[in-house]
Amino acid sequence: MRKRAPLDLTRSVITAIGVTLLAYVCLRAALTVVRGSYSATTYASQLIFGLAQGGIYALVALGYTLVYGILFMINFAHGEIFMGGTYVGYFVIDACARSGLLAQKPGLALILTAITAMATSVTMAVLLERVAYRPLRRAPRLVPLITAIGASLFYQYSFRGLFGTTVKVYPDVSLHVGRIDLISGRYSIGSLTVRPVYFVVFGMAVVLMAGLYILIQRTKLGKAMRAVAEDKDTAALMGIDVDKVIVATFALGAALAGAAGVMYALYNKQVTHTMGFIPGIKAFTAAVLGGIGNIPGAMLGGLVLGVVEATFPTLLGMDVQLKDVLAFGVLVLVLIFRPTGILGEVLSRKRA
Amino acid sequence: MATLEVLDIHSFYGSIEAVKGVSLTVEEGEIVTLIGANGAGKTTTLNTISGIIKPRQGRILLSGQDITPLPPHEIVALGICQAPEGRRIFTRLTVLENLEMGAFLRRDKDGVKRDLEHVFALFPRLAERRHQLGGTLSGGEQQMLAIGRALMARPRILLLDEPSMGLAPLLVREIFRIIREINAQGTTILLVEQNAHMALSIANRAYVLQGGRVVLSGTAQEIRHNPEVRRAYLGEVS
Ligand SMILES: Nc1ncnc2c1ncn2[C@@H]1O[C@H](COP(=O)(O)OP(=O)(O)OP(=O)(O)O)[C@@H](O)[C@H]1O
Ligand SMILES: [Mg+2]
């Protein structure tokens, strides 16, 4: 018992810091609200944007968490897989714009773009698993981590070498349903400006997440993925081809990232070879926030992070430029109180 | 015709040689038991047969076909399934999902359904708990699930690694009764056991493993009456 005293002390100090920070955040937020410096519509529009952005984070975070759940490895090149899909998707949607297809059949053009983007991301991820990660599966954990960083740079510079450094811009898309333009429209409701694209992105994200959840829970592949995540040798003894399941896991995460990339580009139109970095780090943060390896956790973490980023700068009266600092601040705060993330399991219950 | 032939296998963990030239055969329809002290190499032998560990030397034949280089899932496809040591059930899958994993490679939906009913008939306790998570079962129930899961593959040869480990005497007898029943229904069994007494009472033939080598083999009858075995494994004071 005595031996544990220093640890308990550290723990209490950390908790004290956490409580102080939390109290400060609540106080600042309460003050801002009470003072009424901002109207409800400001918060509403921030919340809507936050949910859309959070949906993107969640989709990308799922890629991190799926791979971690099965290989206990952070695929740091996942941001580049998001970038690659978005980038190649640009060429398709640009060609559609030039040929007039985008104007005539915008829905079809978007589907073509999304399919290409997803296929690109899947190809990149599967290649990465096969060439870089599989040979290292039994290596010490630091080795694949460093390899992932190398792979990340490899993909960035490959795209730079192939397509140059000029910024590509997704063309404007008009997709009308009745009188509403779902993608490019801006509508005023009272003092609130609404962009339907945020609802579309959030809705799509929810649909994709629900689809993934059903796949994991109900299908044979999903059950095999859960079995492999828990015990690879035993899964193999049951006749499951573990390598195939691992490839499928990478492919699923990548498909979500590719789809997320196109959705992201609908409102963040600029595409570059470095565009995967920040969303990648944010999505990773979201995955840790929700509890790395936990699928509902990644979904929740993504949405929480998106909303926090969108609303906290105003709530806390800080410069919008500081939103990234706030995002990571929230991560630290959550980890102080729940070291395994919001929905994470207690680590000792998992196998070493 | 011999169903399973293990020919002089040597298996290693790094530079440690855990199995030093084991040979054994299991004929169709038999129960063969592999007994030996802790660390004798029993589990290593089973895992080498299953393809989880690749031997550095030696071959494993199934009905004459060399299965040594095959990955584990292809070995299962050929009809060898294992209920591993320590149960190793999937704790975060339900009982039903665990059983479905045993039938992973099977395409005959009706057959799988029938076998599921069969497993539930063998182990009624599993039927009651089919939607419960595997991790919430008791030790004995987990062992039943591990055996049932392996049966779902409808193996020609069932490998059982210490199915009686950690179970109360009454349950041990129950498990052994069921093993005999499974065998009577046509499944060949290779049984690894610490409980030599029980194992020898249901087996046709036995191999005694010591330090990674087979030191004795014969009919269960012979082995049971061997004075060495009586002293070392059947707990008799000489
Ligand atoms: N993963 C491993 N790494 C290194 N050595 C191992 C490993 N697994 C087993 N061994 C060693 O190999 C030898 C044989 O082990 P094995 O598990 O096959 O024995 P066993 O007969 O099944 O024993 P038990 O009755 O205790 O299950 C032992 O000396 C053990 O220490
Ligand atoms: Mg053993």
For residue range B144-158, what is the model confidence (pLDDT) as tens digits? 999 999 999 999 999
* Band (B2; pLDDT cuts 50, 70, 90): low
Q: A237 at the B interface (CB within 8 A)?
A: yes
Residue of A nearest to B153 (CA): A238
Distance CA(A210)–CA(A61), nearest Å, equals 15
* Closest chain A C-alpha to B69 CA, distance in angstroms: 15
Ligand 2 centre and the CA of A234: distance in Å? Answer: 15
pTM (predicted TM-score): 0.92
In A128-151, which positions are buried (b, 16+ CB within 10 angstroms) versus exposed (e)?
Answer: bbeebbeebeeeeeeebbebbeeb
Q: Give me the pLDDT at residue A114, please.
A: 98
- Are B101 and A231 a contacting pair at CB < 8 A? no
Q: Give me the pLDDT at residue A4, please.
A: 58
Residue bearing the CA closest to ligand 1, atom 25 = B38
Task: Catalogue the E-assigned strands of B40-156.
Answer: 57-62, 65-66, 80-83
Which of ligand 1's atoms lies nearest the C-alpha of B85? 27
Q: A345 at the B interface (CB within 8 A)?
A: no
**3-state secondary structure at position B225:** helix
Our answer on whether the CB atom of B84 is closer than 6 Å to any ligand 1 atom is no
Q: Which of A234, A241, A294, A349 to mutate to test the interface with B (most CBs of B within 10 A)?
A: A234
Ligand 1 centre and the CA of B97: distance in Å? Answer: 30
Pick the range with the lowest mean pLDDT from A22-36, A278-292, B18-32, B161-175.
Answer: A22-36
Residue bearing the CA closest to ligand 1, atom 26 = B38
- Are A224 and B50 a contacting pair at CB < 8 A? no
Least CB-CB distance to A238: which of B71, B76, B91?
B76
Q: Is the pLDDT of residue B238 over 50?
A: no
Q: Is the pLDDT of residue B75 over 70?
A: yes
User: What are the structural domains of chain A?
Assistant: 9-19+39-351 (1.10.3470)
Rounded mean pLDDT of chain B? 94
Q: Give me the pLDDT at residue A1, please.
A: 46
- Which residues of chain B does A345 touch, with a Cβ-Cβ cutoff of 8 Å? none
Q: Give me the pLDDT at residue A351, please.
A: 40
Q: Give me the pLDDT at residue A318, please.
A: 83
Place of tokens 């395994």: A340
Q: Give me the pLDDT at residue A3, please.
A: 55
Compute the count of residue pairs across chains A and B with CB atoms less than 8 Å apart. 61
- Which residues of chain B does A224 touch, with a Cβ-Cβ cutoff of 8 Å? 101, 104
Instruction: Give the alpha-carbon dihedral of B187, B191, B197, B200, to 10 degrees.
Output: 50
Least CB-CB distance to B101: which of A223, A233, A241?
A223
* Closest chain B C-alpha to A233 CA, distance in angstroms: 7
Distance CA(B159)–CA(A248), nearest Å, equals 29
Distance CA(B119)–CA(A258), nearest Å, equals 43
* Closest chain B C-alpha to A349 CA, distance in angstroms: 11
Q: Taking Cα atoms as reference points, which of A85, A86, A87 lies closest to residue A119?
A: A85
Distance CA(B109)–CA(B37), nearest Å, equals 42
- Are B76 and A224 a contacting pair at CB < 8 A? no
Task: Catalogue the E-assigned strands of chain A.
Answer: 168-169, 176-177, 180-181, 187-189, 192-194, 270-271
- Which residues of chain B does A237 touch, with a Cβ-Cβ cutoff of 8 Å? 50, 52, 72, 76, 81-82, 84
Asked if A282 contacts A305 with a C-beta cutoff of 8 angstroms, the reply is yes
Q: Give me the pLDDT at residue A6, please.
A: 66
Q: A347 at the B interface (CB within 8 A)?
A: no
Our answer on whether the CB atom of B3 is closer than 6 Å to any ligand 1 atom is no
Q: Is the pLDDT of residue B108 over 90?
A: yes
> Cα B207 vs. chain centroid, distance in angstroms?
14
Asked if B73 contacts B123 with a C-beta cutoff of 8 angstroms, the reply is no
* Closest chain A C-alpha to B21 CA, distance in angstroms: 23
Which of ligand 1's atoms lies nearest the C-alpha of B37? 25
Residue of A nearest to B99 (CA): A238
Instruction: Parse chain B into domains and list their residue ranges.
Output: 4-232
φ, ψ of residue A46 to 5 degrees: the values are -65, -40
Q: Give me the pLDDT at residue B98, please.
A: 98
Which residue ranges of chain A lie beneath pLDDT 50?
1, 347-352
> Cα B194 vs. chain centroid, distance in angstroms?
12
Q: Give me the pLDDT at residue A346, please.
A: 57
- Which residues of chain A does B77 touch, with a Cβ-Cβ cutoff of 8 Å? 239
Q: Does domain B4-232 have CATH number 3.40.50.300?
A: yes
Q: A226 at the B interface (CB within 8 A)?
A: yes
* Band (B237; pLDDT cuts 50, 70, 90): low
Tokens encoding B12 = 């290693």
Least CB-CB distance to B52: which of A220, A233, A241?
A233
Ligand 2 centre and the CA of B94: distance in Å? Answer: 26
Evaluated on CA atoms B223, B229, B235, B238, the torsion sign reads positive
Ligand number nearest CA of B42 is 1
Sort residue B39 into left (φ over 0), alpha (ψ -120 to 50) or beta. Answer: left
